[in-house]
Structure 1
Amino acid sequence: MKNRLFVIDALRGFAIVAIMLLHNIEHFDYYFTPENLPNWLIILDKWLWEFLFFLFAGKAYAMFALLFGLTFYIQSHNQNKKGKDFGLRFAWRMLLLFAFGIVNSAFYQGDILTIYAVLGLFLIPINRLNDKAIFIISLVLFIQPLQWIELMYALNQPAIELTDPKSWTYFGKMGEYIPNGSFWETVEGNLSNGKKAVLLWNWENGRYFLILSLFVLGLWSGRRKIFVWEIKGADFWQKVLKISFSAFLPLYFGNKYFISSISSEAIKRPLNVIISSWSNTAFMFVLLASFILLFHNKRFHKTLDYFSSFGKMSLSNYIIQSIIGSTLYYGFGLGLYKYTGTLFAVGIALILVFFLGKFCKWWLTNHKRGPLETIWHNLTWLTKN
């Protein structure tokens, strides 16, 4: 059990660090390319951007979602062993997470915590089902049913013209407050215009179904003891690595070369969402299996265990990096979006990772949980069952 908990912390920390890298190169959702950069730097920035997006975009959040469902199982299972029902307590816990998400959204409109808090409530009734039903629910959600309905409709009317996604309208308005707005103008914009943009974008890209699918799969994996090394071990995770990589290759190249050649936007748009979500999830399992195998290898264990402190303080790190990042890049702060291409943004991200890593190590030598984790825990258990 100890190994299992350690690897979960390390995986969660790895996902958080990957998210930090992406957030920085995106200037925390304000995409801007500095002017007058030398040609070699433009080429390097483009290569680095594509490489980091290939590695982590859609994968880090997917891993985070899977571990969210697994953590729900652990907490629920521990309470059930004491003869207590965790359902109402978890609902209260999600309300608290939603509040944390609103605070985070004030700094960074791309916040995922509010979405997790709402979708997490579905785990309460799903947890009452048997393992087979839970796995089927995860699979049905994973196939992106609404996108398939849109695709079937488009196949019958391929010439139908589509308007731009609604989220684009709201993303376009970010330039009214992020580059030159005051702090309070930015907060207001993030919580109104920005929140609408992100909620619509997640809907348009099938993220709600995918996130909930991974929540449910994490719950199922907890029940099946998938992450307990003594039960599954190297053979199991090597199989996961081979299968997920074999699934990823045709999905990735099919999406890159076949779907892009389709002339009908009505067909291409839902198909791209379906294949991209499948491709990203497959590669997420490549990263997940590789990490677990290396984590349990003596030569790499100490190196990868570095991420454990990040994982134990994932809520604190997620919100702290939003506060620091928006202050660094947005107009109310240092306005570094004007000067930092991908290479320099990665440098800033690595500096942030370094100092947050030091902070996590220091904090956890004196406290059982991170600062925001402590608040979340204490408020969760404010009253007894």
Structure 2
Amino acid sequence: MTRRLVIHVGAQKCASSSLQASLRLVAQASKGGLGFCFLNPAQLRDADQALKMNRDTAFKYVDRVISAQSSSQVVISHEMLGNRPALVCSMAERALEKHSFDHVVISGYSRLQSNYHVSAFSQWFFRDRKKLLDDLKVLSNRNLNWRQFTALERSLLALSFVGKDRNWYSNYQRFYDGVRELGDSVSVVSCHIPTRSHPYSLLEHFLSSTGMSLGLEDLESFDVRKNLSFHPVLIHGMSEYLSSLRPVQQSFFPLPHEGNRWLFRVCKRLSGGEDVMAEFDSLFSPRLQHSLVGHLDCRASSSNKQYCELMSVDFNYFQPSDEASLLSEEELMTLAVDAAQSRNSEDIECFNRRIENVCMKSMRAEIVSS
């Protein structure tokens, strides 16, 4: 019986949690037809470090996981693998040589870089003190008053001035180069995640593109969509509060990847948040954010075209809007200065104070209740 292993490599913020949840359900329903394992991130980090140092223990964890799978079709998954092509390619080679698999598929998904960054900010960066402080330094070096911008605007400005875009072409070219010597025994597949303008079934696409055959009907019933997001009041309130702290000051706020359940409970307790956020657009015109997003889309356009050609992906997923334009540093500065000067400092300060009070009240209520 031919055996097929699929290594799902993410990436982060590319519907990985939704796909993993769907695959768990499919594995249960397949009654042995599909094996699925969500890999341990700490063990993967150790394996990656051991591989770089040529240690014999590099594949101890991976071997244990793969050898435990008896199905003819197996999926192993973790979104951090997208950043570790050498480890993934070594895993593919090992699956063929040591674990009796006949074919390995490396599968991953992508998304427009600006959307990727905004989504990452809304989940992680808004409470990442190092990232927030780094953004402040970028603005300070250009004599821009950080208090005149939202944390997301500061993040987008910093990325526009000094940051690098996620390069999907470079990512997948490394996967191709890493498995080239393995010939037709290994294939690499990728696509942009579904969008509102270009929708499709993620689960169905994954199974089809990786060559999985399960004979299950009504795949839609297994299609999980995990789109949980934090309340904008929490995002704005926490990021503004953390940004105002001195580097040596401590905070009880959860860091990225910490306390998600607690933060979601705090979001449920927010009262009056919608009334406060109604002032948001009047204080912070969306024009700056739209212009920065357009700039990032144009900046990444060339490498995105290369990725689309390499992976046979529709470039319409990555096409910048008609209003988007690539801006010089001088133009970025003018855009930022104009936005800052058009905003009322006192109104922003009062708004931020109200937001922080709403957040703190909800957090206190959640702490007291538990």
Could you say whether these structures have the same fold, taking a TM-score greater than 0.5 normalized by the shorter chain as the test?
no
Larger radius of gyration between Structure 1 and Structure 2:
2
The structure with the greater share of residues assigned to helix is 1
* TM-score with structure 1 setting the length: 0.24
Which structure has the higher relative contact order (CA within 8 Å, separation 6+)?
1
TM-score (norm 2): 0.25
